[in-house]
Amino acid sequence: MNDPYQNAGDYSPSEPFDMAVPLTSGGRRLDQVLAELLPQHSRNRLQGWIRDGLLTLDGVTVTEPKRKLAGGEQLALLLPDATPSEEIPEDIPLQAVFEDESILVLNKPAGLVVHPGSGNRQGTLLNALLHHVPGSAALPRAGIVHRLDKDTSGLMVVAKTLEAQTDLVRQLQARTVKRQYLALVAGRLERSGGVDVPIGRHPVQRIKMAVVPESRGGKAALTYYRPLLLFPGCTYVECTLETGRTHQIRVHMAHIGHPLVGDPVYGKRDPRLPVFARQALHATRLALLHPLTGQRMQWEAPPPEDMRQLLEDLGYC
């Protein structure tokens, strides 16, 4: 998973930041050493700034992140400041599960788009964060580090500082962020298991994702599932993500013949099942290491009213 906030075009230069390369770093790569000297920034972000000519080595601009160092050189980085977001702050209600000076954990409702895009420039989670979180305009994507689909409900974590954002992105890369979902899938699924097949953009229908070989651009994706309740024609399952690909659970469950109930993209309407207006998917549990303290933290959010009603309609009380 690459750092989604590495584009130096999101920043404007400020005052140079001077530092010396440790003598013990001779023979090592420039980007590796710089990441150790500036741990609040990801290596991908620093690589982008190097390529954009924002770093000098003994007074000479260098643009090659892999350049080997001798040790003892002087570095000067024209340390960027995030420019204010062009998006409009909006007073959209947010359900905070936890908040401190570093992170905000939210229970996102179904129907809320996370980030502005084509046809959704306003009314998004990002617009709401710009209103509710002071200083979020100075962060890439207002501190958002991962997404939920518009019609998926549940827990998300948002960074409130650049240091927290960098740390959370690294945790996602290292898979120390644990995410569990509740879903209702078509068909009877009687055994636990896992789906370990790569996911990429659909080769024909570009708005969809699909199982795509890595040789054709697919990225490794792993989902574990565990059946919780069996109903006529469908199964209530718990899914655990080991990776975070777009539409991962939806694609993986459809791939094994159990698409999510209500999924308009990867499933089909089954007349035997109650009508559900969205994919029946809820991010119920989130665990991570706190970016500031390193403490392991976990939160849980029960499924929203529409999913509880769906289960009742199926006979669960």
CATH 3.10.290.10 describes domain 8-81: yes
DSSP 8-state code for residue 215? G
DSSP category for residue 52:
T
Top-confidence residue, 59 or 84: 59
pLDDT-derived band at 124 (thresholds 50, 70, 90) equals very high
User: Residue 273 to residues 187, 211, 270, 315: CA-CA distances in angstroms?
Assistant: 10, 26, 6, 12
The span from the CA of 7 to the CA of 12, in Å, is: 11
Cα 43 from Cα 47, distance rounded (Å): 6
Residue 184 has pLDDT above 70, yes or no: yes
Distance of CA 137 to the CA centre of its chain: 18
- Report pLDDT for 91: 96
What is the gyration radius of the CA atoms in the chain, in angstroms? 22
Q: Nearest 5 degrees, angle CA 150-CA 152-CA 157?
A: 90
How high is the pLDDT of residue 14?
Answer: 43
Which amino acid type is present at position 22?
A: P
CB atoms within 10 A of CB 73: 21
pLDDT one-digit tens code per residue, 32-60: 999 888 877 778 888 988 988 888 899 88
Find the mean pLDDT for residues 265-270. Answer: 90
Whether the CB-CB separation of 291 and 159 falls below 8 Å is answered with yes
pLDDT at residue 109 in the model: 97
Instruction: Name residues whose C-beta falls within 8 Å of residue 142's C-beta, 6 or more positions apart in sequence.
Output: 85, 87, 126, 129, 130, 133, 136, 158
Whether residue 13 is predicted with pLDDT greater than 90 in this model: the reply is: no
Q: Name the residue with tokens 């636990």.
A: 192
**CA-CA distance, 83 to 65, in Å (whole number)?**
24
Q: pLDDT confidence of 81, banded at 50, 70, 90?
A: low
Domain limits, the chain: 8-81, 96-313
Residues labelled catalytic: 149
Percentage of residues in the chain having pLDDT higher than 70: 91
Separation CA 69–CA 203 (nearest Å): 43
Q: Return all residues near 297 (Cβ < 8 A) that are at least 6 apart.
A: 98, 287, 288, 289, 290
| CA-closest candidate to residue 282, choices 152, 162, 116 | 152
Q: pLDDT above 90 covers what percent of the chain?
A: 66
Which range among 118-127, 212-221, 255-264 shows the weakest confidence by mean pLDDT? 118-127
Tell me the three state secondary structure of residue 232: coil
* Pick from 94-108, 199-213, 254-268, 298-312: least confident: 199-213
189 has a pLDDT exceeding 50:
yes
Write a three-state SS string for 237-286. Answer: EEEEECCCCCCHHHHHHHHCCCCECCCCCCCCCCCCCCCCCCCCEEEEEE
pTM of the model: 0.78
Nearest to 174 by CA among 83, 74, 257, 242: 242
From the CB of residue 121, how many other CB atoms can be counted at a distance below 10 Å? 12
Please tell me the CATH code under which domain 96-313 is placed. Answer: 3.30.2350.10
The mean pLDDT of the chain is 89
